[in-house]
Structure 1
Amino acid sequence: MTTENFQPYPFPAGLTAESLCHFFVWCAHQGASDIHLQGDNHLVISRHGRLLRASPFVVADDTLAKLMDEVFSPELRPLVRSGVSVDRALQLEGNAEGRYGLARGERVRYRVNLLQGTAGRQDSTIGWTLRVIPADIPPLGSLGLAPALMDTILPAKGLALFGGVTGSGKSTALASIYRWCLDHYPDRKVTTKEDPIEFILGKPGDILPPVQSQIGKDIPNFATGIRADLRRAPSVIGVGEMRDRETIDAGIRAGQLGHLCLSTTHIDSPGDAFPRLINEFPHESRDAMAWALLGVLQYVVVQTLLRTTDGTRVAVREYIIIDHPLREKLGDIPWPEWGRHVNALIRLEKRRIIDQAWALYRRGRIDVTELAVVMSPRQRREFEEAGDA
């Protein structure tokens, strides 16, 4: 279904807590990535990076507040009204009667954030944002990873990172790697620490389904979960995000002890991983942590999703594999220069995200507006001049 012929959900039984849950499931079936609700506005979805009105009517703010009490619990609303941003996981399950449009055994999961604010004329409304977590993990081979990256996607030990902005597909890529490991290397024990749990990794037939631990429910934080795992003989430790010094330190330590730690971080290029992680530590310990990081880092991938002219999206990536020759080269230069050196290699080999975006633009896959998401006007002029030369 294209954006042009998209039709809002009709709500044939009116708007109730049950019909709202039906709507959430319908959004997942429509391929929505996010659902946005706020008072005195239409229900809106994000689909292939585009915002679409998904209800034929505006929902009053007081109606939305009552629905929140029914979908979650009455205790939640006062908490959000007090100025607290609340994260919740929502799971909708079908039954024999087809509840929510789902059969018995079917389920759809969402990552929910609730936050109070001003929206238009509504002085104080609670905005809902629901990230739809796909039930099916895409096969790793369907992600279009470069052959060189596929060859080293699951090293025996160390630290591997996926970077990018929020919503760029980092968690999906990691879930595909975990599932690929379980399918092809069943002797490798997989565990994850997530905030919250997104994809359910285990499936019938697994020798040892992964134990997935959630921050705030099963463990207090990522670092504690990683350290606990070191006593549980895992081969692959998945970590939701390298977000603080304790988590980074624990992840590096896991790699040094022979485990593979896979995680994400918010960076714009592979070279940015070095200052992003090292600068979390006090100045006096950065040199030591830089060498520790260099010893375990296996690869860094940065990706983004670009809207295409056919109404879908395409992933573009740039990456660096830290092999032995590159590790030795970086060891000969001061660590503050590592990121610049890595990014220069990617630029020299024309493997940057902007190189791939330019190729997509020239083939008509993306338009000039989407090109501008990843390429500055100056960079575009440089590409145009190089093409005319």
Structure 2
Amino acid sequence: MDITQLLAFSVKNKASDLHLSAGLPPMIRVHGDVRRINVDALDHKQVHDMVYDIMNDVQRKHYEETLECDFSFEIQGLARFRVNAFNQNRGAGAVFRTIPSKILTLEQLNAPKVFQDLALKPRGLVLVTGPTGSGKSTTLAAMVNHLNETEYGHILTVEDPIEFVHDSKKCLINQREVGPHTLSFANALRSALREDPDCILVGEMRDLETIRLALTAAETGHLVFGTLHTSSAAKTIDRVVDVFPAAEKDMVRAMLSESLQAVISQTLCKTKDGAGRVAAHEIMIGTPAIRNLIRENKIAQMYSSIQTGNSMGMQTLDQNLTDLVRRNVISPAEARAKAKIPENFPG
């Protein structure tokens, strides 16, 4: 099988990822589990050639110099793929993450109503967090799409690489990729403030400079969407503040307390019928009470504020898991595996 056939097979089987690893057959991840494809093992040259053939000259040079490379790749009419090529002890390796050609709407994702409200905020910071592969990009793409279909404005995205490709509907959309279009997230964000955006999407808030610029953009009247790999709202606030030196922490807490609109922390759960996965969310909204806790560094008290904030669209992860179990969407065992307090899900 060539790479196009393997990727077509992967998409047909609703796989989130295709794994190529020299010395082993190709494998796909379906509903969270990695499965072998029933074909012969690939050797180093086969894997290397499959990946090398779809790279451009810049990507090949980067791969040769650093032994790894991130890029995106599209098969027209099938899907886009986010690719990481690397080397391992048996030879070449690569992972292809499937990015569906069609952007799912918030309704199709069964996202809480508050996501629509957050997508239309005139300014402030909305963070979508969770582990790798938890659907952050899918959620953010749906929120950007909702804004694009509803308001007239300018949406600017900075990604590494570009994942979901948005058509300009009511909004003008400019998508920039680190590498081909800009040297870094920080460079792109510095320029963004002079590019008349209403909304800025930052693919990953990786370092101090990017986080500082994202906070500044949110504070100066832009809606900023960003992602982090944290697993809860409280850990997200700590992560943002901890990046900064001690002398700046109070200032950063003040900036966050002014600009934070929401933190959405999500994880994917296997459905009870085994047919797919569903997102479970912790949602913290930037209410006056939450803003005050951030300003005063009382992060430990956030959980109880989220627990009692249902009327404002807030929920803890365990509250959402309880609802999914009650509606028979996931099993109690799956809820227990994902829960912050597993004892809440006996059985």
What TM-score do you get using the length of structure 2 for normalisation? 0.89
> What per-residue deviation string (whole Å, max 9, x for no partner) do you get for residues 264-302 of structure 1?
111111122211101111111111111011111111100
Equivalent residue in structure 2 for 1:115, among 86, 92, 113: 86
Equivalent residue in structure 2 for 1:87, among 70, 74, 81: 70
| Structure exhibiting the larger radius of gyration computed from Cα positions | 1
The letter for the 2-side match of 1:92 is I
Q: Does structure 2 conserve the Cα–Cα contact (< 8 Å) formed by 1:81 and 1:116?
A: no
Q: CA deviation at 1:200?
A: 0.5
Partner of 2:304: 344
Partner of 1:4: none
Q: Does structure 2 conserve the Cα–Cα contact (< 8 Å) formed by 1:306 and 1:366?
A: yes
Distance in 2 separating the partners of 1:326 and 1:74: 49
**CA separation of 1:380 and 1:69: change in aligned 2, threshold 3 A:** closer
Q: CA deviation at 1:178?
A: 1.0
Partner of 2:15: 32
Q: CA deviation at 1:220?
A: 1.3
Q: CA deviation at 1:23?
A: 2.3
Equivalent residue in structure 1 for 2:317, among 344, 350, 353: 353
Partner of 1:218: 181
Partner of 2:161: 196
Secondary structure of the equivalent of 1:136? coil
Distance in 2 separating the partners of 1:384 and 1:349: 25
Distance in 1 separating the partners of 2:171 and 2:127: 25
Q: CA deviation at 1:79?
A: 6.5
Matched, 1:153 2:119: yes
Equivalent residue in structure 2 for 1:239, among 185, 202, 209: 202
After the TM superposition, which residues 49-88 of structure 1 pair with which residues of structure 2 at under 5 Å, given as runs?
49-72=32-55, 84-88=67-71
Secondary structure of the equivalent of 2:82? strand
Q: Does structure 2 conserve the Cα–Cα contact (< 8 Å) formed by 1:201 and 1:209?
A: no
Partner of 2:337: 373
After the TM superposition, which residues 1-389 of structure 1 pair with which residues of structure 2 at under 5 Å, given as runs?
15=1, 19-72=2-55, 84-93=67-76, 106=77, 108-118=79-89, 124-185=90-151, 187-202=152-167, 206=169, 208-311=171-274, 312-327=276-291, 329-330=292-293, 334-335=296-297, 337=298, 339-348=299-308, 351-361=315-325, 365-367=329-331, 370-375=334-339, 379-384=341-346
The letter for the 1-side match of 2:91 is T
**CA separation of 1:141 and 1:284: change in aligned 2, threshold 3 A:** same
Further displaced range: 266-275 or 351-360: 351-360
Q: Does structure 2 conserve the Cα–Cα contact (< 8 Å) formed by 1:43 and 1:53?
A: yes
Q: Does structure 1 conserve the Cα–Cα contact (< 8 Å) formed by 2:149 and 2:171?
A: no
The letter for the 2-side match of 1:344 is S
The letter for the 1-side match of 2:237 is F
Q: Does structure 2 conserve the Cα–Cα contact (< 8 Å) formed by 1:238 and 1:262?
A: yes
**CA separation of 1:296 and 1:74: change in aligned 2, threshold 3 A:** closer
RMSD: 2.6
Secondary structure of the equivalent of 2:47? helix
Secondary structure of the equivalent of 2:200? strand
**CA separation of 1:68 and 1:153: change in aligned 2, threshold 3 A:** closer
> What per-residue deviation string (whole Å, max 9, x for no partner) do you get for residues 334-375 of structure 1?
22x2x2222222245683223333454466543465334323
Q: Does structure 1 conserve the Cα–Cα contact (< 8 Å) formed by 2:290 and 2:305?
A: no
The letter for the 2-side match of 1:381 is E
- Where has structure 1 moved over 4 Å in runs of 4 or more? 73-83, 361-364
**CA separation of 1:79 and 1:369: change in aligned 2, threshold 3 A:** farther
Q: Does structure 2 conserve the Cα–Cα contact (< 8 Å) formed by 1:65 and 1:77?
A: no
In structure 1, stretches of 5+ residues that fail to align are: 1-14, 94-105, 119-123
Distance in 2 separating the partners of 1:79 and 1:238: 26
Q: CA deviation at 1:384?
A: 3.8
Secondary structure of the equivalent of 1:176? helix
Q: Does structure 2 conserve the Cα–Cα contact (< 8 Å) formed by 1:316 and 1:357?
A: yes
Q: CA deviation at 1:172?
A: 0.8
> What per-residue deviation string (whole Å, max 9, x for no partner) do you get for residues 173-211 of structure 1?
1111111111111x12111000100000115xx355411
What TM-score do you get using the length of structure 1 for normalisation? 0.80
Q: CA deviation at 1:310?
A: 1.6
Partner of 1:6: none
**CA separation of 1:367 and 1:56: change in aligned 2, threshold 3 A:** farther
